[in-house]
Amino acid sequence: MRAMIIDDSRAMRAVLGRILIELGFEVFEAGNGREALERLHEVGCTDLALVDWNMPEMNGFEFVQAVRAEREFDPLRLVMVTTETEMTRVVKALGAGVDAYIMKPFAKAAVVEQLKQIGLLSAA
């Protein structure tokens, strides 16, 4: 499986990258939504994208809207990983096509649980 980590924090990309690599994912990274869209067009649709909300150039919500507007990315599972904890933000993200929402700070177990819930990891 392949995953894209989209976060303007290099440290957060490293943390999430370690978790995903341990889970068997091939990992790609991007520092904002615009860069992530370019990378997706280069490498093709990945199985998963972990997306931060607050980023320069194109934020995570704008990235979700752009990805969901392109049919080739329909299979992509989107997980918002963010400090945005307001329920209105969660509802807005889910309405735009996010499959799951993880609030920072988080533990590896929270990432694993969400990936199980959206069908990317077996529940066994």
Choose the CATH number for 2-117 among 3.30.310.50, 3.40.50.2300, 3.30.70.260, 2.60.320.10: 3.40.50.2300
Q: Residue 103 in 3-state DSSP?
A: strand
| Per-position pLDDT tens, the chain of length 124 | 999 999 999 999 999 999 999 999 999 999 999 999 999 999 999 999 999 999 999 999 999 999 999 999 999 999 999 888 888 988 999 999 999 999 999 999 999 999 999 999 987 6
pLDDT score, position 124: 62
C-alpha count within 13 angstroms, C-beta hemisphere, residue 107 = 3
Per-domain residue ranges of the chain:
2-117
Amino acid found at 69: A
The contacts of residue 56 (CB under 8 Å, 6+ apart) are: 8, 32
Which tokens belong to 101?
Answer: 């929402």
Q: Which of 76, 25, 47 minimizes the C-alpha distance to 63? A: 76
| CA separation for the pair 29, 10 (Å, rounded) | 9
Report pTM: 0.94
